[in-house]
Amino acid sequence: MLRIRPLLSIIGIFCAVLACAPATARAEGLIPTWGGWSRSENPQEVATTVEVVLFFTLLSLAPALLVLMTSFTRIIIVLSFLRRALATQDLPPTPVLTGVALLLTFLVMAPALAEMKEQAVAPYLNGEITQASALERGLVPLRKFMFTQVRAKDLKLVVELSGTEALHAEGLRRADVPTTVLTTAFVLSELRRAFVMGFALFLPFLVIDLVVASTLISLGMYMLPPVLVSLPFKLLLFVLVDGWHLLVGSLIKSFAVA
């Protein structure tokens, strides 16, 4: 009962505000309207229930779609591989890795974002184009970026799996490829490149693990975990070669190569 009293107090205050509202509201219709808000008799100007549901559905999926259509996927996977190769458990923490991946993503996608703002966002805010045109123009820089990174082999596979017979013809143009097909092929290409870079990261640290393990076995130290001994050597190697500088530079340069 004690937990319900604050809620009842809030409801009472809200009802009191509504009781005073008709003095400034217009009582036409079922729901009153206030200053700055008005009813429209034109159905084209009113959002239906289905439109509202679709809007919030797309809004919830937008972060995931943007992550899959940018460089974020490759960057976060490579950073995760690095943490596993170092065997530092949760260091760096996951929020730190995610933040670094987001910053690097903005750095890589800066030209595409600037083009989207110039061609889609600014004209839409100025009222020069419609919302549909802004969405269509905004996808052009993203599609251009994905086309520079996607492998022809992956694109061909997804085109065949999509079942679109019109896309199987020779001399396929980029404009003929749907965004859903392109995004799927792009994600496959990004996963492959990320795992290749992760394998290259694992090799030097794997050599250190093998050397430490063989040394401990030759000394008869069977009870001493090799990971405990190899961790300082891994960190020392990573710091001496300026690992973060090399890793970030390699990640950024990997997107410059088409």
Give the pLDDT confidence score for residue 22 in this predicted structure. 47
CA distance 70 to 142: 8
List of residues 6+ apart from 184 with CB closer than 8 A: 158
Give me the torsion for CA of 202, 204, 207, 213, rounded to 10°. Answer: -70
The mean pLDDT value for 219-244 works out to: 80
pLDDT surpassing 80 at residue 152:
yes
pTM of the entire structure?
Answer: 0.70
Tens digit of each residue's pLDDT (9 = 90 or more) over 1-33: 445 555 445 555 444 444 444 444 444 444 444
Give the pLDDT confidence score for residue 23 in this predicted structure. 42
Give the pLDDT confidence score for residue 24 in this predicted structure. 42
Give the pLDDT confidence score for residue 164 in this predicted structure. 63
The mean pLDDT value for 205-232 works out to: 78
> For the ranges 27-41, 70-84, 142-156, 164-178, which has the lowest average pLDDT?
27-41
List of residues 6+ apart from 198 with CB closer than 8 A: 77, 78, 80, 81, 82, 85
125: left (phi over 0), alpha (psi -120 to 50) or beta: alpha
Number of H helices and E strands in the chain, helices first, is 11, 0
Tens digit of each residue's pLDDT (9 = 90 or more) over 176-211: 778 788 888 889 999 999 999 888 888 888 888 888
The mean pLDDT value for 225-243 works out to: 81
How far is the CA of 116 from the CAs of 67, 103, 113, 126, 148, in angstroms?
Answer: 16, 18, 5, 14, 17
More confident residue, 10 or 174: 174
pLDDT surpassing 80 at residue 101:
yes
pLDDT surpassing 50 at residue 230:
yes
The mean pLDDT value for 169-179 works out to: 68
pLDDT surpassing 60 at residue 235:
yes
* Percentage of the residues of the chain whose pLDDT score is greater than 90: 2
